Amino acid sequence: MTTQQFTFEYTSFSDISELTPADQQLLSAARKVTEQAYAPYSNFFVGAVIHLENGETVKGTNQENASFPVGICAERTALSAASSLYPGVAIDTIAVSYNNHNGGKNDAPISPCGICRQTITEYENRQHSPIRIIMSGQSGKVYILQTAKHLLPFGFTAEDME
Ligand code: THU
């Protein structure tokens, strides 16, 4: 018997000003696009902006539904849009932010939900290159991860079906 460990590194920044200009632009866009979310049920407005290898950016927001499970997260909205608008173009970064209209905190990094982690990992596997993830609220700390795989240890992939 052996005890194994899964560890990963991420970078923590005290605020957006510590990021590269390109990452600052992407995170600012993610913060702003939260205004376009459709979140009348949770009042939790999420924005995701993708930067593609060809220099284009694609935005997404959460889209809720009166039938709650039908709603879709901002990350998956953005990923589907990017893949539809620019098929075959690799994604290098996705920035995610939120605006909590429930009176709660807005200054802590957001972390993608389990379904979104699975989805981002699928896109990484498809394009054979990692997708960086920038996570932040409307202000305050920013976390950057170098790959979605770090968010999903023991994730199920196509390889498991070989
Ligand atoms: N949500 C996202 O869009 N992305 C996340 O990473 C976490 C949660 C949405 C789903 C739902 O519309 C609302 O936030 C509250 O869960």
Instruction: Give the pLDDT of the chain (162 residues) as one tens digit per residue.
Output: 999 999 999 999 999 999 999 999 999 999 999 999 999 999 999 999 999 999 999 999 999 999 999 999 999 999 999 999 999 999 999 999 999 999 999 999 999 999 999 999 999 999 999 999 999 999 999 999 999 999 999 999 999 999
- 124 counts as catalytic: no
- Assigned token pair, 71: 């709603």
Task: Calculate how far, in angstroms, residue 61's C-alpha sits from the geometric centre of ligand 1.
Answer: 9
Q: What is the pTM of this model?
A: 0.96
Q: Residue whose CA is closest, atom 10 of ligand 1?
A: 73
Task: Calculate how far, in angstroms, residue 83's C-alpha sits from the geometric centre of ligand 1.
Answer: 20
| C-alpha distances in Å from residue 146, one per residue of 15, 66, 135, 143, 151 | 18, 35, 12, 10, 10
